[in-house]
Structure 1
Amino acid sequence: MTAFAVESSGLTKRFGRQVAVDAVDLAVPRGAVYGFLGPNGSGKTTTIRMLLGLIRPTAGGHALLGERMPGGAAAVLPRVGALVEGPGFHPYLSGMDNLRRVDAADRTVKAATADARIRAALDRVGLGAAAGKRYRAYSLGMRQRLALAAAMLTPRELLILDEPTNGLDPQGTREVRALVTALASEGSTILLSTHLLSEVEQICSHVGVMHRGQLVAQSTLEDMRADSAPRVRVETDRADDAARVLRELGLDDVAADIGEATGALGQIAPEKVVAALVHDGVPVRGFAVVAPDLEDVFVSLTGEGFDVSG
């Protein structure tokens, strides 16, 4: 058995002259919650569509659960649950009846257990009370929940979820995060595509960062943070002078704001920074060494800001 639930090598997709996905080498370990991180338009959804066989890659190849795709699709896809882009269901059927249609298309399950499995999936995503309501009357958040339920009608070894909290209110977002954590604890591997750093920081064990169609970083969340230098934060009423001292010491990415100066510490000892500030006569009201958060890591990788909401 391969150690990876998802593997790709040189996975590429071009649309005419536009390169949407550029030679992506994914490695998603079995049992991981893998945060597939990147802003909208970075190539995440196109990559996911190739992984699931919904579109053909221009170049490269990949495997799911050890089965090469697309040749192994019939064998592997029944073991994979997916939510890709906007969920699509019949508008005049109830949530329950829509899931009956989805379940009936799966030849690997027993029809006799369908209603019990469907009700369990609806309850798990908080739609038990709305099971008989027509889909057209569902809110965006309810539609997203129904799509999650469809992905969980049977136990799945791999779940590929594209922006699963899209359209959910804060309470619904917290519930989906708890659900993803529970599914991982039950043995499923989760590939979670998102543009929200908070989702990744709270529930993911591994991270891949997409930027303009390329996978610019991939590792455990812990290692990714460790690879980024901690920052010093100096509280002072002479921020410009403090920033000058930090630059003279060789700190990178130095910035001054009202009441504080910051910089990437690198290999310089914190006590040396404090001593240099005091020696230069800069009044230090507060000093801290701050571990980098995921936003700092993303900016260091791409040079761009990011959405930290959610």
Structure 2
Amino acid sequence: MEAGAPIGASPPSAAIVTSGLTKRFRGGQVAVDALDLTVPRGSVFGFLGPNGSGKTTTIRMLLGLVAPTEGECSLLGLSRAEALPRVGALVEGPAFYPYLSGEANLRRFDAADPTAPAGTARQRIGQALDRVGLSAAAGKRYRNYSLGMRQRLAIAAALLGPRELLILDEPTNGLDPQGTREVRALVKEIAAAGTTVFVSSHLLAEVEQMCTHAAIMRTGQLVAQGTMASLSGGRATRVRIDTPDAAEAARVLTGLGLADVRVGDDVSATLEGHAPEKVNAALVGEGVAVRGFAVVRPSLEDVFVGLTGEGFDVDG
């Protein structure tokens, strides 16, 4: 089957489906290795992995910018020719004319799209600028835009037509905290309006705050995918107790049946299904002086390290 053609029996609720998608470059380097990915419609899907893990190569295959060596992929359950007019994309950073205004740059983007009706160009450009919060800066030269404004203009270019799927490659890369917050809020707004958003990133914290689903890549291979809750659910929730009675607290936790009891600066253990309030009550009932009691749920970083034994940027 031609790459980009609909995959047989692909779920109608999926915006992206890949089956065995593989890319080998000359010299035998495998950039993406037999990727089986399912992105639900309506999700904000984080495509997560360190730099060089195959994220951008995967996106380029999805969009038909490079040909896969093996495997199949489908966007919106359609052939690529049918799907691409419904897909907006930002790949490897925005590129605009610095001496033109934001609006003028979008006019050139729109004119280059053979499927865009010229008669509605002004209206669509205005709507795209308004959607990303740049209406007031429409006449400002691009060279005077902040990094956050530049990323928002790039997203506006991807939204010049009605889009069912938006693919963003590292949309917060290089942004300061304010710009990062702007893009994060924009992605959530776009998703709330019904567009599926596929976001690649190497920043764990960004994916954790922005996404409903995620997939984790490592050296071209998929190591996990699912909802954010299911990914975190694979690792146990722990309890941490700040107490001067560490030995006694450890004894009580062990007696309750909590696992992996550890004594250090504090006392911690895996809850193993115990209600934290009952654990706290048992400690107090046994005369343990509890100065602090915290339930620690696994983060996406914990999940990644547990799956791969490695870490990467948490907050850039």
How would you bin the TM-score normalised by the shorter chain? 0.7 to 0.9
CA contact (8 A) 2:44 2:213 kept: yes
- In structure 1, list runs of 5 or more residues that go unmatched: none
CA contact (8 A) 1:3 1:29 kept: yes
- Partner Cα separation in structure 1 for residue 154 and residue 220 of structure 2: 26
Does residue 99 of structure 2 align to residue 89 of structure 1?
A: no
Distance 1:97 1:288, change over 3 A: closer
**AA at the equivalent of 1:202:** Q
Report the alpha carbon displacement of residue 257 of structure 1 after superposing the two structures with TM: 4.6
- Partner Cα separation in structure 1 for residue 220 and residue 250 of structure 2: 36
Distance 1:264 1:86, change over 3 A: same
Match for residue 37 of structure 2?
26
SS of match in other structure, 1:200: helix
SS of match in other structure, 1:89: coil
Match for residue 46 of structure 1?
57
CA contact (8 A) 1:141 1:167 kept: no
After TM superposition, the structure 1 = structure 2 runs for residues 201-216 of structure 1, keeping only pairs within 5 Å, are: 201-216=208-223
Match for residue 201 of structure 2?
194
Does residue 15 of structure 2 align to residue 5 of structure 1?
A: yes
CA contact (8 A) 2:239 2:294 kept: yes
Distance 1:23 1:263, change over 3 A: farther
SS of match in other structure, 2:23: strand
- Partner Cα separation in structure 1 for residue 306 and residue 162 of structure 2: 38
**AA at the equivalent of 2:97:** H
Distance 1:303 1:122, change over 3 A: same
CA contact (8 A) 1:246 1:273 kept: no
Find the partner of 2:74 among 63, 66, 73: 63
Does residue 42 of structure 2 align to residue 35 of structure 1?
A: no
CA contact (8 A) 2:90 2:168 kept: yes
Higher mean C-alpha deviation, range 130-139 or range 141-150: 130-139
- Partner Cα separation in structure 2 for residue 87 and residue 186 of structure 1: 23
User: CA RMSD, aligned part only?
Assistant: 3.1
Match for residue 220 of structure 1?
227
Report the alpha carbon displacement of residue 21 of structure 1 after superposing the two structures with TM: 1.4
Distance 1:241 1:82, change over 3 A: farther
- Partner Cα separation in structure 2 for residue 272 and residue 118 of structure 1: 58
Match for residue 14 of structure 1?
24
After TM superposition, the structure 1 = structure 2 runs for residues 258-277 of structure 1, keeping only pairs within 5 Å, are: 258=265, 260-266=266-272
Deviations along 1:184-233, whole A, 9 cap, x unmatched?
22211111112223332333221111122211111111222222211121
Distance 1:56 1:291, change over 3 A: same
Report the alpha carbon displacement of residue 273 of structure 1 after superposing the two structures with TM: 10
Deviations along 1:65-119, whole A, 9 cap, x unmatched?
112xxxx322211100001112122334332222111111222222121122112
TM-score, length-normalised on structure 2? Answer: 0.82
Report the alpha carbon displacement of residue 171 of structure 1 after superposing the two structures with TM: 3.0
Find the partner of 1:302 among 285, 304, 308: 308
Does residue 183 of structure 2 align to residue 172 of structure 1?
A: no
- Partner Cα separation in structure 1 for residue 198 and residue 264 of structure 2: 39
CA contact (8 A) 1:20 1:213 kept: yes
Report the alpha carbon displacement of residue 13 of structure 1 after superposing the two structures with TM: 1.5
Distance 1:102 1:243, change over 3 A: farther
Match for residue 292 of structure 1?
298
**AA at the equivalent of 1:58:** T
CA contact (8 A) 1:10 1:60 kept: yes
State the percentage of identical aligned residues.
66
TM-score, length-normalised on structure 1? Answer: 0.84
- Partner Cα separation in structure 2 for residue 49 and residue 237 of structure 1: 56
CA contact (8 A) 1:32 1:205 kept: yes
- Partner Cα separation in structure 2 for residue 286 and residue 133 of structure 1: 53
Report the alpha carbon displacement of residue 9 of structure 1 after superposing the two structures with TM: 0.7
Report the alpha carbon displacement of residue 240 of structure 1 after superposing the two structures with TM: 9.0
Figure out how many residues of one structure are paired with residues of the other and give that number: 303
Report the alpha carbon displacement of residue 130 of structure 1 after superposing the two structures with TM: 3.0
- In structure 2, list runs of 5 or more residues that go unmatched: 1-10
